A and B are shown apart, each in its own frame.
Chain A
Amino acid sequence: QSALTQPASVSGSPGQSIAISCTGTSSDVGAYDYVSWYQQHPGKAPKLLIYGVSNRPSGVSDRFSGSKSGNTASLTISGLQAEDEADYYCCSYTSSVTRVFGGGTKLTVL
């Protein structure tokens, strides 16, 4: 049950687009379309951004999008805004019926 691999940090300027990768294995990310992404601001609970690889819950901005290729999923944030500065986590269902999170990525808006 090793954690999914995410970059520790990414940064971008307001208005730019950034992507955060999430690499797993053929037993988790590569095997199922049950990849979700969460945003967490300091001191707050995580918030669902993307589920089912690329689906947005109602109320989540369409600036957030998700995709997957093989064992790697990605979260793209377009039109960066100051309020997007937060930690981002991916999560996948696994063949052991467990879940596994990525190590988290800190997004800095310059």
Chain B
Amino acid sequence: QVQLVESGGGVVQSGRSLRLSCTASGFTFSARGMHWVRQAPGKGLEWLAVTSYDGSEKYYADSVKGRFTISRDNSKNTLYLQINSLRAEDTAVYYCAKDTTTPQIDYWGQGTLVTVSS
């Protein structure tokens, strides 16, 4: 069965950087686009970024462009999200998610909580 396990979250000081990871299993990771989506406490889902199956194409939400970087290592079945210059408003649960054979998300990880402190 599909499993997506995020890690790397925690309490981080404002202005610092953080790299989140998502380890995938149960499907052919190198054949699927992958996403990062976040959810601030008590708020809705916010799509952040997507990478194509081979990492050659990457697209970002305007709100994070230039500060967030999505990447993947298909040899390790792992997706990454680099977050720079962390701000209080980046406090959220960060989910990784996979695409179906069409550009739609089907499976989600359980999320990792990032808390930005001042």
Contact = CB atoms under 8 A, between A and B. Distances in A.
A34 B104 contact: yes
Interface string A32-72: 00101010100001111001100001000000000000000
B47 A48 contact: no
B104 A98 contact: no
A103 interface: yes
Interface residues of A, number: 26
B62 A46 contact: no
Interface stretch (B13-21, B24-32, B72-80, B95-103): B95-103
14 contacts: A1-B61, A34-B102, A38-B45, A40-B45, A45-B95, A46-B95, A51-B100, A51-B106, A89-B45, A93-B104, A98-B47, A99-B47, A99-B103, A101-B44
Given A52-B104, A91-B104, A103 B47 contact: no
A99 B50 contact: yes
Interface of A: 1, 3, 34, 36, 38, 40, 45-48, 51-52, 57, 87, 89, 91, 93, 96-104
Interface in B78-118: 95, 100, 102-111
Contacts of A40: 45
A1 B60 CA distance: 10
B61 A98 contact: yes
Contacts of A104: 44-45
